[in-house]
Amino acid sequence: MAAEWNWESGEGLLGLDDPAEWDAAYARGERSLGTAAIGLAFNCTLREASPRIVKAMRLPDHGQRGFAYTAAGTAARLNNALTPELYAALRAEGHRGLAENAVDDTLTFVPFRELPPWFKWRKVASKVRDKLGTWRLNATYAAEDIRTAVRRRRS
């Protein structure tokens, strides 16, 4: 299958299923390591993919780092869990920027009881923020309805 992997363009790397090949490409300084990390998330066990995803999160290429965070989110979706190293890497980046979608995927697909404390806090904070936003919108809509009703009575 190695003949199908094009490290320059990234073509075929979503099918990468050999962690040793990823390691060799990393040692050679290949270009599409973040893309290949997504392939590892799809095709390998979480234990095999995790250290490589974490390495890809530190790549100098911003786009490839973004793909590494996508790989972390994919791993959370597929496994309903992450490794302590992936949790730590996502926490270090925070719930913003490249890691925002990966953290959201983790909060969505990993059961609450299995989340580390920082992620539990993020989930609770997110729910509270959503509820406050809902109440604000409901109050805004109610105020608009009252204003419309008062205008109708004056007419």
* pLDDT tens profile 89-99: 999 999 899 99
Specify the 3-state DSSP secondary structure of 116: coil
Q: Which residues contact 6 (CB under 8 A, 6 or more apart)?
A: 12, 13, 32
For the stretch 30-63, pLDDT in tens is 999 999 999 999 999 999 999 999 999 999 999 9
Residue 111 CA to residue 93 CA, distance in Å, equals 21
Q: In one letter, which amino acid is 143?
A: A
Cβ pair 72, 90 in contact under 8 A? yes
Residue 94 CA to residue 98 CA, distance in Å, equals 9
Give the CA count within 13 Å in the CB-facing half-sphere of 147.
6
Q: What is the pTM assigned to this prediction? A: 0.82
pLDDT score recorded for residue 154: 83
